[in-house]
Chain A
Amino acid sequence: MAAKTHNPKAWLFVLPVVILVAFNALIPLMTVVNYSVQETFGDNVFFWEGVGWFEQVLHSERFHASLLRQLTFTGIILAIEVPLGVAIALTMPKKGPWVSVCLVFMAMPLLIPWNVVGAMWNIFALPDLGLLGRAINGMGIDYNFTQQPGSAWFTTILMDVWHWTSLVVLLAYAGLRSIPDAYYQAAKIDGASSWAVFRHIQLPKMKRVLTIAILLRFMDSFMIYTEPFVLTGGGPGNSTTFLSIDLVKIALGQFDLGPAAAMSLIYFLIVLLLSWIFYTLMMRNEAQ
């Protein structure tokens, strides 16, 4: 990378972006901060509350339960989607007309509105009317995602794998395509096994895009709302109530602004912190 020139006027170039994002990020964020330290009984009358809401949220079992569900969910989908996406990217054709065909079909789930994804999986998995529900019940397994927490989890995870694995595939595939053919030829001359090729050529070359893939999947799965909300509504019971669903329930359902705002901030900080940890760990690996 060539050295960049120092140019204070560059601020003018970034000004439109800063104004737009600041309008959308800072004002709402300050509103949230404002609510998080006050108590209200309606009519726009507010009382100073201090850090009370934060303490309440941090000690509430309900929050712990949602957070645990969220972490479990994100852990499971990362463990499935990343290896699966890499494996599929490795087996995809390298050139020819099939590349476009594969890419177009694989990108399709990414461009379906999230609530349509939820509605589609609802229709697909209904135990009596859906193809999936019928098939599973036909195999003699008792399956009903609206009533059994286990089935609900299974369906939610399968839906997320369906929805997002393609993103990992596209990114990993892009990383693979950037490897020059000469590397493969050299490996062939050395008689390297396909595992050695993967371990020493493909994986290191994919590291950067995989970092992006893992970060994006982590952030987006941690914020997931619409798909599980439409599919299960957070149920049965609270079994699939993830952080965002819980937050919306508290903020718009019960209109408990103070606790909701405090929870929002804690939630945002957790996402930031975990993203930062992920990022530093992966960057440190790369440096070694």
Chain B
Amino acid sequence: MRKATWLAPTLYILFLMLPIYWLVIMSFKTTNEILSVFTLWPQDFTLENYEKIFTDSTWYNGYFNSLAYVLMNTVIAVTAALPAAYAFSRYRFLGDKHLFFWLLTNRMAPPAVFALPFFQLYSAVNLFDTHIAVALAHTLFNIPLAVWILEGFMSGVPKELDETAYVDGYPFWRFFLRIFMPTIAAGIGVAAFFCFMFSWVELLLAKTLTSVAAKPIAATMTRTASTSGYELGLLAAAGTLTIIPGAFVIYFVRNYIAKGFALGRV
């Protein structure tokens, strides 16, 4: 029993890595090799696919667009969620429980339901095809999540901390920025991580709200896949590149991921 425990996680990780391995390997093969022979390792190692992505502006702009709206969304969602989460964790006020539940119901709204109205709404306010439109649209599900996570972390901080600070004569905002926020830094990190994650991976709304100027990389890929048929190598290279920002972020928050939801109360 004792010895075999490493087996399950190892097999699981192996299972997780196989499709990723296949994608990465595919990206270094020539189209000719992909279509003609079945190889586990590129015989004819090529960087052609990556070269195309880095030299064609419709491709590399997709990355900047995605990163732009994801970062905007993370900043907006966490900034707005901080005071709200504080209010939920510290105060009772009219309709607080209902409000909290209403926020969470938005996490349950299928994006497919909102695709068309979002398109009309953001067109009406002249924000169609801008980064901020996607960033704002994604707050629909990221703000509830950020409030939920932050509230959990904040409730773990004893109220005595707030009271001591007031006794010491700290005005509220100085206390909040100088003492409270550093105390829940881990929570802010976790909330930011989840906002980044859900905004980075979502595509239905991002695609609906953009056409050219703010088109996300993932949407560029879909177009390639459908129009130019069998450019599997190119598709694989673009896919491989989308894994990198996520891997970076995971590496930085690796010690906090597991805590993320553990402290969040329902």
Contact = CB atoms under 8 A, between A and B. Distances in A.
Interface of A: 1-2, 4-11, 13-14, 16-18, 20-21, 23-25, 27-29, 31-32, 87-88, 91-93, 100, 102-116, 119-121, 123-124, 128-132, 134, 162, 165-166, 169-171, 173-175, 177-178, 194, 208-209, 211-213, 219, 222-223, 225-226, 230, 243-245, 247-248, 251-252, 257, 260, 264-265, 267-268, 271-272, 275, 279, 283
A5 B90 contact: yes
A105 B93 contact: no
A120 B23 contact: yes
20 contacts: A2-B159, A7-B92, A8-B93, A13-B86, A16-B79, A21-B140, A25-B109, A88-B9, A104-B247, A112-B201, A113-B203, A113-B216, A124-B22, A134-B38, A174-B258, A178-B262, A208-B266, A225-B110, A265-B113, A268-B110
- Chain B residues touching A, majority SS: helix
B155 A162 contact: no
A165 B84 CA distance: 31
Instruction: Give the residue among A6, A108, A113 with the most B Cβ atoms within 10 A.
Output: A113
A31 B97 CA distance: 26
Q: For chain A, what secondary structure do more than half of its interface residues adopt (helix, strand, loop), or is it mixed?
A: helix
Interface residues of B, number: 101
Interface stretch (B11-19, B42-50, B53-61, B180-188): B11-19
B250 A111 contact: yes
Nearest to B23: A120
A91 B90 CA distance: 38
Interface string B69-98: 000000010011101101110111110100
Contacts of B105: 272
Contacts of B155: 1
Contact of B232 (A112, A115, A123): A123
B106 interface: yes
Contact of A7 (B93, B107, B147, B242): B93
A87 B12 CA distance: 11
B259 interface: yes
Contact of A248 (B115, B235, B242): B115
B136 interface: yes
Contact of A131 (B22, B84, B110, B245): B22
B239 interface: yes
A264 B113 CA distance: 5
A69 to B, nearest CB: 15
Contact of A28 (B121, B139, B143, B158): B121
B56 to A, nearest CB: 18
Contact of A14 (B23, B88, B239, B245): B88
Interface in B233-266: 235-236, 239, 242-243, 245-247, 249-251, 254-255, 257-262, 264-266
Contacts of B13: 102, 105-106
B91 A243 contact: no
Contacts of B257: 103, 107, 170
Given A18-B99, A209-B262, A113 B110 contact: no
A13 B235 contact: no
Contact of B110 (A121, A123, A230, A271): A271
Contacts of A211: 266
Contacts of A208: 265-266
B200 interface: yes
A31 B121 contact: yes
B225 interface: yes
Nearest to B246: A111
B25 to A, nearest CB: 9
B140 A25 contact: yes
B232 A6 contact: no
B146 to A, nearest CB: 9
